[in-house]
Chains A and B, each alone.
Chain A
Amino acid sequence: MSIEIRNINKTFGSFTALKDINLLVPSGELVALLGPSGCGKTTLLRIISGLEQPDPGNGAILFHDEDVASRSVADRKIGFVFQHYALFRHMSVFDNVAFGLTVKPRSQRPGKEEIRDQVMELLRLVQLESQANRFPSQLSGGQRQRVALARALAVKPKVLLLDEPFGALDAKVRQELRRWLRRLHDELHVTSVFVTHDQEEALEVSDQVVVMNAGQIEQVGPPAEVYDHPANPFVYQFLGNVNLFHGRIDGGEAKINHLDRSQSEQEVVAYVRPHDLDVSRERTSPDAIEAIVRYIHAAGGMPRLELERLDNGESIAAEVARERYRELELQVGDHLFVTPRNLRFFVEGAPLDYQI
């Protein structure tokens, strides 16, 4: 079932949480709502779920072309996984998962045996069969997360919504769980939307990433596209580390390596990722920027360098391949030339069709 959001606004008092949001989530996809805290992503998720109401207006929320805006949470047939799981602490794992089935009106409620079978099957799916009689307080964070997921799936939702599903877990569990979620989604194919502030998570798990900022959608697209072709400086900066160079357009060409701004026609800002910088001991191109090595963080797959530009003193972060790092025998204080490989220019926030 697809989800379509049309012209949704939401204000809390004088604070605008969402501003004219339009979004289409295709059926069966796993979509990430990504953005910094306070960007409105959780509000949007809660509006889709019906836990929050959008401001009155001409906005609409459609599930498979059917407007559900006037339907209550209970009638939207969604599964919702809460940020802190919101497990019923006085119920066992089994009862938690069974809850959605046992509150159905008597006429639709499955029999005891049937409930048992369905719950046990779900617990098998989330690998928690052996924990059925435990209470939430006796489980680890990752286990609770999976109970929350099983509970949400028990009512056979048409749409699964997850609010920061891995936010409360530590790094290692988080990685395992998100891969697991991806596999689970490939198995079930239920249209899913999850909220996260972790770009790595969004890029790794989802089919589509929706980057949000200050109540608006900045960009929508598959992870690779969003990462490689950010629509604007915000997306660039939010998805991974980035270096920022101020430059100007000079004779139809954007320049970043000159200090002389007096004759500049138009200010541009250029962005380049640290791993898209080449460093060498000799000047290899006229565009190269001279810099001094200030710090070296050699631990990790790609050694990271902190460089200081000679011309204006700004700092640059660069990542070099391990072999290259060994080859150059870098030391703090070394003099280097930095050449950007993949530079993107933006003029007043809009991308410039010009790349080096």
Chain B
Amino acid sequence: MAATISMLKGASNSPVGLARSEENVWIKRGLIIVTLLFLGFFLFLPLAAVFSAALEKGFGAYFASFDDPDALAAIKLTLIAAGIAVPLNLVFGLAAAWLIAKFNFAGKSVLLTLIDLPFAVSPVISGLIYVLLFGLQGWFGPWLAEHDIKIIFAVPGIVLATVFVTFPFVARELIPLMQEQGSDEEQAALVLGANGWQTFWRVTLPNVKWALLYGVILCNARAMGEFGAVSVVSGHIRGMTNTIPLHVEILYNEYNFVAAFAVASLLAILALLTLVAKSLVEWRARQELAAALEPTMIKD
């Protein structure tokens, strides 16, 4: 068999077809300018405003904002909440994606809708539902009070609200990918004598690792940045139940703008890192996909 590998790409592979390239250059420039202006106004300006306001009184004042036990306590609490919520939803995401991608069963589409449900719920309501369950007047309120367990206006409530709002992130990244990949490779592994866990660890997981990472990054960003839901269950006790976003709110409402924006800039940096990580992951995933699709270029 003559296996000559030709790396030549066909001309038709270019995304810019004939009809597209003939486009009027002024329309093109106009649309690019509108895009840049719109995004500049709506995206770049707010981002710049955060850093500008944070550094308004110089770097000294900026760094002094973090030299505050309440700020450090807020950072610590945010890390705890994200540290619990992300792994929980990661495990859930894997289980749900396996279930939905590998099996056909009655009620699958209902299940899919229910998994997406937390996205449709206002953050404020996400907090409220836990107050209704665990608050003093809630279902379990009296029982909890009797046993001296605090959930609402305490750390567990914050963790629960965070878990709720970040619930679908990993699952919804994995489900479409795993559905698309089908279960051919898993079947091949099983035929070759692998057991369920071996198949999962050695075949499925490596195939979805980028989507998984992507989901985790998004999940983490939301977990650290959640405001509305956490605000409802937190009780805003300084140094105790304030997360970073809540701490920002308190500082802002106290007209301590430099500190508010300094702490906010921390979250903005986190957001930018998230975008960078997300782009990197997308880039890697695209590369692997391109490599996987390349076979069409290789002739026997």
A binding-site residues for B, Cβ under 8 Å: 49, 51, 72-74, 78-80, 82, 84, 86-91, 99-100, 103-104, 127, 135, 137-144, 151-152, 154-155, 169-170, 172-173, 176-177
Contact: B187 with A151, CB < 8 Å?
Answer: no
CB distance from A331 to the nearest CB of B (A): 41
Docked Cα-Cα span, A141 to B297, in Å, equals 10
Contact: B207 with A90, CB < 8 Å?
Answer: yes
Docked Cα-Cα span, A87 to B207, in Å, equals 12
Most chain B CB neighbours (cut-off 10 Å) among A74, A91, A104, A173: A74
CB distance from A258 to the nearest CB of B (A): 53
CB distance from B39 to the nearest CB of A (A): 36
Q: Do A99 and B189 contact each other (CB < 8 Å), given the known contacts A89-B207, A142-B3, A173-B300?
A: yes
Closest to A154 in B: B192
Closest to A176 in B: B1
Q: Do A51 and B191 contact each other (CB < 8 Å), given the known contacts A88-B203, A173-B1?
A: yes
A84: chain B residues at CB < 8 Å are 184
Docked Cα-Cα span, A203 to B185, in Å, equals 30
Docked Cα-Cα span, A259 to B225, in Å, equals 86
B187: chain A residues at CB < 8 Å are 51, 73, 80, 82, 86
Q: Do A155 and B1 contact each other (CB < 8 Å), given the known contacts A90-B207, A142-B300?
A: no
Judged by a CB distance under 8 angstroms, whether B5 is at the interface is yes
Contact: A74 with B195, CB < 8 Å?
Answer: yes
CB distance from B280 to the nearest CB of A (A): 18
Judged by a CB distance under 8 angstroms, whether B57 is at the interface is no
Docked Cα-Cα span, A185 to B76, in Å, equals 66
Docked Cα-Cα span, A73 to B188, in Å, equals 10
User: Which one, A74, A87, A139, A173, contacts B194 given CB within 8 A?
Assistant: A74
Contact: B191 with A140, CB < 8 Å?
Answer: no
CB distance from A185 to the nearest CB of B (A): 18
Docked Cα-Cα span, A172 to B1, in Å, equals 10
Interface residues of B in 4-30 (CB under 8 A from A): 5
Contact: A143 with B192, CB < 8 Å?
Answer: no
Docked Cα-Cα span, A16 to B228, in Å, equals 55
Sample of 20 more A-B contacts, CB < 8 Å, known A88-B185, A88-B189, A135-B291: A49-B191, A51-B187, A72-B190, A74-B190, A74-B191, A74-B193, A87-B188, A89-B207, A89-B292, A99-B189, A99-B202, A103-B202, A138-B294, A140-B5, A141-B298, A143-B1, A143-B300, A151-B192, A155-B192, A176-B1
Docked Cα-Cα span, A151 to B194, in Å, equals 13
Closest to B181 in A: A89
Contact: A137 with B300, CB < 8 Å?
Answer: no
Closest to B185 in A: A86
User: Which one, A80, A137, A143, A152, contacts B292 given CB within 8 A?
Assistant: A137
Contact: B184 with A82, CB < 8 Å?
Answer: yes
B295: chain A residues at CB < 8 Å are 137, 139-141, 144
Closest 7 CB pairs between A and B? A100-B192, A86-B184, A103-B194, A86-B188, A173-B300, A90-B206, A80-B191
Docked Cα-Cα span, A152 to B1, in Å, equals 21
Closest to A99 in B: B192
Contact: B193 with A100, CB < 8 Å?
Answer: yes
Judged by a CB distance under 8 angstroms, whether B147 is at the interface is no
Docked Cα-Cα span, A88 to B1, in Å, equals 23
Contact: A104 with B3, CB < 8 Å?
Answer: no
In the assembled complex, 7 residue pairs joining A and B whose CB atoms fall closer than 8 Å, in A order, are: A73-B190, A74-B192, A88-B206, A89-B292, A140-B5, A143-B1, A143-B300
Closest to B193 in A: A74
CB distance from B205 to the nearest CB of A (A): 9
Contact: B191 with A88, CB < 8 Å?
Answer: no
Contact: B193 with A155, CB < 8 Å?
Answer: yes
CB distance from B137 to the nearest CB of A (A): 51
Most chain B CB neighbours (cut-off 10 Å) among A49, A84, A90, A143: A90
Closest to B184 in A: A86
Judged by a CB distance under 8 angstroms, whether B198 is at the interface is yes
CB distance from B206 to the nearest CB of A (A): 4
Closest to A90 in B: B206
User: Which one, A88, A140, A154, contacts B299 given CB within 8 A?
Assistant: A140
Interface residues of B in 161-196 (CB under 8 A from A): 184-185, 187-195
Interface residues of B in 89-141 (CB under 8 A from A): none
Closest to B203 in A: A88
Contact: B292 with A172, CB < 8 Å?
Answer: no
B206: chain A residues at CB < 8 Å are 88, 90-91
B293: chain A residues at CB < 8 Å are 137
CB distance from A2 to the nearest CB of B (A): 20
Docked Cα-Cα span, A87 to B184, in Å, equals 9
Closest to A172 in B: B300
Contact: A82 with B5, CB < 8 Å?
Answer: no
A144: chain B residues at CB < 8 Å are 295
CB distance from B169 to the nearest CB of A (A): 23
Contact: B195 with A103, CB < 8 Å?
Answer: yes
CB distance from A181 to the nearest CB of B (A): 13
Docked Cα-Cα span, A63 to B190, in Å, equals 19
Q: Do A143 and B207 contact each other (CB < 8 Å), given the known contacts A73-B190, A99-B189, A137-B291?
A: no
Docked Cα-Cα span, A78 to B299, in Å, equals 30
A151: chain B residues at CB < 8 Å are 188, 192
